[in-house]
Amino acid sequence: MTQTTPTRAVPRRRGLWRRLRHDYAATPAAALVTLVCGTILVAIAWTLIDWAILRATFDPAAGREACRAAGGACWPVIAARWRVILFGLYPYDEQWRAALACLVVAAVILLSCLPRMWGLGRLAAIWATGTALFYLLMRGGLFGLTPVNEQQWGGLPLTLFVFVATAVIGMPMAIVLALMRRSSLPGIAIPAGLLIDAIRSLPLLSILFTCAIVLPLVLPDFLIGEKLYRVVFGAALFFAAYQAEIIRGGFQAIPRGQEEAAKALGLGWRQRLVRILLPQAFRLALPATINQFVIAFMETALIVVVGFMDLLASANTAFRTGEWTFAHVEVYAFIAAIYFAFVFGLSRYGAFLEARMDAGQQRS
């Protein structure tokens, strides 16, 4: 094929139109993909706007009939039920304590996202203080706060409590399990490995269930305690099994020379571990660790199944009773927004850290 006219000898234009064509419709097939995806996007956006805003009812006093007539989202259900959704069965007059407790947890999480707080000691201090404060506020019984039994806890504070307690108990367990599995002594490494692998191959639900109903069978009376704490222990164990493998991965990624150099300098086992290995392992494992936190937060929702009134369960009750039985989408959208804000925020933060660490590695 001979091209006789030297077309395009002039500079090619990189204009907007050209760029758009290149990106959206370089070939007929690409144009078709653009068309299909674009249509879907527009349809989704329009349906959402139409339902959630244009045809929605916002008047807090509006009832079922008014919502039905408008045809869109029925937001008065949130106005009417938000206390139940957020705080479950917690005594109505004491719900300010529950709200405060949620803020404490939020503060703890925000603080631990600051790089200047990243020391074993500081992190441990923040989380221990936060947990104690949370517990004091929720449980009461001191400083003139009326005691509130764990069975009355519910909604967002319960979800946050399970999450925080899982992390606070699970993380030390994870470190210990990881160290045991890495041990050169088979009598320690093998049982640890078996435990980790067994837990990882079981569904979390079955572990929560086991903790709720089997532990009372095998524990001596003084150890049985509240069902809430047994279930939290199960969640922590599950978290620890996964997190232990993440930490172990971090250990494996440390260059061999590091430990040898530390040995050659005459550092003892504890010093090598605390000063040289653990900090590096945690750094290397940080993105995966944050990911694990995100997963652990989402998995707190599973405690519904063993009979707790967490955020998800209290949302269920909010529309299962009374006049709001039709408003399930609105209620789920409300709590989905809460879960999403937390999970999306944390995972974006993880991605940001990862990018920062990658950049740091390239420089060195």
H helix intervals, 155-302: 155-182, 186-200, 204-213, 215-218, 221-224, 227-253, 256-264, 269-271, 278-299
Q: Of 1 and 264, which has the nearer Cβ to another protein?
A: 1
Cβ atoms within 10 A of the Cβ of 238, count? 25
Question: Minimum distance from CB of 126 to another protein (Å)?
Answer: 25
User: How many angstroms separate the most distant Cα atoms in the chain?
Assistant: 95
Question: Minimum distance from CB of 312 to another protein (Å)?
Answer: 6
Contact status, residue 31 vs residue 24, Cβ threshold 8 Å: yes
Q: Of 94 and 245, which has the nearer Cβ to another protein?
A: 245
Binding test (CB under 8 A) with another protein, winner from 136, 168, 305, 353: 305
Scan residues 257-296 and list those touching another protein (CB under 8 A). 288
Question: Minimum distance from CB of 187 to another protein (Å)?
Answer: 3
Q: How far apart are the first and last CA of the chain?
A: 52
By the rule CB under 8 A, 16 interacts with another protein:
no
By the rule CB under 8 A, 317 interacts with another protein:
no
Question: Minimum distance from CB of 320 to another protein (Å)?
Answer: 9
Q: Of 16 and 61, which has the nearer Cβ to another protein?
A: 16
b or e along 16-55 (b: 16 or more beta carbons within 10 Å of the residue's beta carbon)?
eeeeeeeeeeeeeeeeeeeeeeeeeeeeeeeeeeebeeee
By the rule CB under 8 A, 103 interacts with another protein:
no
Residues near 135 by Cβ (< 8 Å), separated by ≥ 6?
none
Q: Of 218 and 264, which has the nearer Cβ to another protein?
A: 218
Scan residues 322-361 and list those touching another protein (CB under 8 A). 326, 328-329, 332, 335-336, 339-340, 343-344, 347
Q: Which two tokens stand for residue 80?
A: 């009417």
Contact status, residue 330 vs residue 70, Cβ threshold 8 Å: no
What track of x and - describes contact with another protein for positions 42 through 81 (by CB under 8 A)?
A: --x-------------------------------------
Scan residues 207-236 and list those touching another protein (CB under 8 A). 209-210, 213-214, 217-220
Q: Of 7 and 116, which has the nearer Cβ to another protein?
A: 7
R_g of the chain computed on alpha carbons: 27
Q: Which helix (H) or strand (E) element contains residue 55? A: none
Question: Minimum distance from CB of 98 to another protein (Å)?
Answer: 21
Question: Minimum distance from CB of 264 to another protein (Å)?
Answer: 18
How far is the C-alpha of 9 from the C-alpha of 12, rounded, in Å?
8
Question: Minimum distance from CB of 108 to another protein (Å)?
Answer: 21
Q: Which two tokens stand for residue 350?
A: 């993880």
By the rule CB under 8 A, 201 interacts with another protein:
yes
Scan residues 168-187 and list those touching another protein (CB under 8 A). 185-187
Q: Which two tokens stand for residue 52?
A: 């959630």
The dihedral sign for the CA sequence 262, 266, 269, 275: negative
- How many residues of this chain bind another protein (CB under 8 A)? 65
By the rule CB under 8 A, 11 interacts with another protein:
yes
Degrees to nearest 5, angle at CA 197 with 213 and 278: 110
Binding test (CB under 8 A) with another protein, winner from 24, 82, 135, 349: 24
Residue entry with tokens 């758009």:
20
Burial group, residue 64, by CB count within 10 angstroms (0-12, 13-18, 19+): middle
Q: Which two tokens stand for residue 309?
A: 């009134």
**Interface ranges with another protein (CB under 8 A):** 1-3, 6-12, 14, 23-24, 26-27, 30, 33-34, 37-38, 40-41, 44, 185-188, 191, 198, 201-206, 209-210, 213-214, 217-220, 249, 288, 298-302, 304-305, 312, 316, 326, 328-329, 332, 335-336, 339-340, 343-344, 347
